[in-house]
């Protein structure tokens, strides 16, 4: 919990990691990819405040103690949601697997939610693994990285028939939340890998699942926003937006927040630190202190209320994951209205 000016904020970090990217975990022959991946992540960290930058050695393999201190002791987080990313073609034991996350979670009861993942290209074996993980770890969400390389394939789309089979199975198993992360490759390579129209199809065909688009579809914010306006079960995951822009490019952060508030609305935006890329402490504190600047250029963007910030930092994700929120952190029954409702009608009718 974070308390500021007498207000209590329940913090759900809905997108965080516990990875092993140390050289010992690199797949022989694929070292350049393993190294390229973690160096790319490390460059993202440079967009945060200087005093929060880590040397690459720590970044490759931060410890359990680092995580518990950065996220919970210093970072104000109440519940962390692990989002696995396997990348087993590059990392021998995986970059950040369900098992690794859950093992940490079991040592700290009540602190974590362990999401799992699937890859439709794994076929029947993948379905068995999905069932096993959900049964074993009680996962209510999956993280899908559509640009993952798998046996010569550079990626997949959510609208692929093979993926629908997995979404159907996930739904049967009790999965509610599908976190989608787009990446730079997909098959075929000539298409825009970041395109989000496949999520649009899946969200329409699976109305009882929630689709949380991580990094708000970056670098396709515009396509994401337009889709989110029209699909009631599509959410904006703010990881990278706060971490990558709030400090480094405050003006663009303001504009992106303004657009998200308009198109997506405060009830469908969720905070995620993307730890270990960025520590949650400065993000939570900075966001609570942040307000849309009084600037002519930004004058028609909505201001954020305390209720808005409480929703984004934790209450929205708590709803998605049925997390019990302490009374003192809840909103009064009449606080806040969905910001994007009228605009949704405007766009649908256009």
Partner 1 sequence: MTTIPDALASPAEGSRTRPAGLAGAVYAALATVRDPELDQPVTTLGFVSSCTVTGEGAAQVRLRLPTYFCAPNFAFLMVADAYDAVTAVPGVQSTEVILDDHFASDAINAGVAARAGFVASFDGEATDELDDLRATFLRKAVLAGTDQVCRPLVDAGLTPAELTALTLGATPVSPELDRLRQRRRDLNLPAHDSSHLLIDPTTGNRIRESSVPLHLRRARLTRTGIDANTSICSGMLRARYQTT
Nearer to partner 1, 18 or 253 (CB): 253
Question: C-beta of 36: minimal distance to partner 1 in Å?
Answer: 3
With b for 16 or more beta-carbon neighbours within 10 A and e for fewer, the 292-325 pattern comes to beeeeeeeebbebebbbbbbbbbbbbbebbebeb
CB of 252 to partner 1, least distance (A): 5
- Residue 66 or 259 having the CB closest to partner 1: 259
Give least dist CB 150 to partner 1, A.
13
Task: Give me the sheet containing 269-270, strands edge to edge.
Answer: 141-145, 177-181, 210-213, 234-237, 269-270
- Rounded distance, CA 91 to CA 117, Å? 16
**Residues 6+ positions from 346 with CB-CB distance below 8 Å:** none
CB-nearer residue toward partner 1: 96 or 98:
96
Nearer to partner 1, 150 or 171 (CB): 150
What pairs with residue 340 in β-bridges? none
Which of 69/249 has CB closer to partner 1?
Answer: 249
For partner 1, which is the closer residue by CB, 6 or 188? 188
CB 320 within 8 A of CB 270: yes
Least distance to partner 1 from the beta carbon of 244, Å? 6
Min dist CB 329 to partner 1, Å, is 31
Secondary structure (DSSP) of 22-47:
SGGGBPTT-HHHHHHHHHHHHHHHTT
Residues that bind partner 1 (CB under 8 A): 32-33, 36-37, 39-40, 42-44, 46-47, 154, 183-185, 187-194, 218-222, 225-226, 240, 244-245, 248-249, 251-252, 255-256, 259, 262-263, 346-347, 350
In the complex with partner 1, which residue's Cβ is closer, 27 or 248?
248
User: Which of residues 22 and 330 has its CB atom nearest to partner 1 in the complex?
Assistant: 22
Contact residues for 93 (Cβ-Cβ < 8 A; gap 6+):
20, 25, 100
Min CB(205)–partner 1 separation in Å? 24
Expressed in percent and rounded to 5, the helix, strand and coil fractions of the chain are 45, 15, 40
Question: What residues are paired with 269 via a beta bridge?
Answer: 236
CB of 46 to partner 1, least distance (A): 4
Pick 40 or 128: Cβ nearer partner 1: 40
Asked whether the beta carbons of 338 and 33 are under 8 A apart, the reply is no
Helix (H, G, I), strand (E, B) or coil at 299: coil
Distance CA 120, CA 90 (A): 19
Three-state DSSP state, 7: strand
**Shortest distance (Å) from residue 222 CB to partner 1:** 4
Beta-carbon contacts of residue 315 (< 8 Å; ≥ 6 apart): 10, 325, 329, 330, 331
Measured from the CB atom, is 141 or 244 closer to partner 1?
244
Instruction: Give the whole-angstrom CA distance, residue 143 versus residue 153.
Output: 19
By the 10 Å C-beta count (0-12 exposed, 13-18 middle, 19+ buried), 57 is classed as: exposed
Q: How far is the CB of 40 from partner 1 (least distance, A)?
A: 4
In the complex, least distance from residue 185 CB atom to partner 1, rounded to whole angstroms: 7
């Amino acid at each position: 919990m974070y308390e500021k000016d007498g207000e209590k904020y329940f913090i759900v970090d809905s997108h965080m990691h516990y990875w092993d990217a140390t050289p010992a975990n690199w797949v022989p022959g694929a070292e350049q990819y393993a190294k390229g991946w973690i160096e790319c992540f490390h460059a993202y960290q440079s967009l945060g405040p200087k005093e929060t930058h880590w040397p690459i050695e720590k970044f490759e393999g931060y410890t359990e103690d680092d995580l518990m201190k950065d996220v919970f002791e210093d970072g104000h987080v109440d519940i962390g949601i692990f989002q696995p990313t396997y990348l087993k073609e590059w990392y021998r034991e995986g970059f950040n697997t369900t098992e690794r996350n859950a093992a940490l979670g079991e040592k700290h009861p009540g602190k974590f939610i362990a999401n799992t993942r699937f890859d439709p290209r794994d076929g029947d074996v993948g379905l068995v693994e999905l069932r096993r993980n959900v049964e074993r770890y009680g996962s209510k969400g999956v993280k899908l990285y559509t640009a993952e390389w798998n046996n010569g394939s550079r990626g997949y789309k959510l609208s692929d028939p093979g993926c629908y089979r997995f979404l159907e199975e996930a739904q049967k198993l009790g999965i509610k939340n599908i976190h989608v992360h787009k990446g730079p490759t997909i098959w075929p390579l000539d298409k825009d890998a970041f395109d989000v129209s496949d999520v649009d199809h899946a969200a329409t065909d699976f109305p009882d699942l929630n689709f949380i688009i991580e990094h708000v579809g970056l670098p396709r914010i515009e396509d994401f926003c337009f889709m989110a306006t029209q699909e009631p079960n599509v959410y904006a995951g703010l990881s990278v937006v706060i971490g990558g822009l709030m400090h480094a490019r405050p003006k663009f952060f303001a504009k992106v927040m303004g657009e998200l508030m308009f198109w997506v609305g405060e009830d469908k935006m969720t905070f995620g630190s993307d730890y270990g890329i960025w520590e949650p402490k400065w993000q939570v504190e900075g966001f609570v202190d942040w307000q849309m600047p009084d600037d002519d250029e930004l004058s028609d963007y909505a201001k954020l209320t305390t209720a808005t910030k409480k929703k984004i930092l934790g209450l929205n994700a708590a709803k998605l994951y049925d997390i019990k929120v302490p009374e003192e952190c809840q909103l009064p029954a009449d606080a806040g209205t969905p910001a994007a409702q009228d605009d949704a009608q405007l766009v649908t009718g256009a």
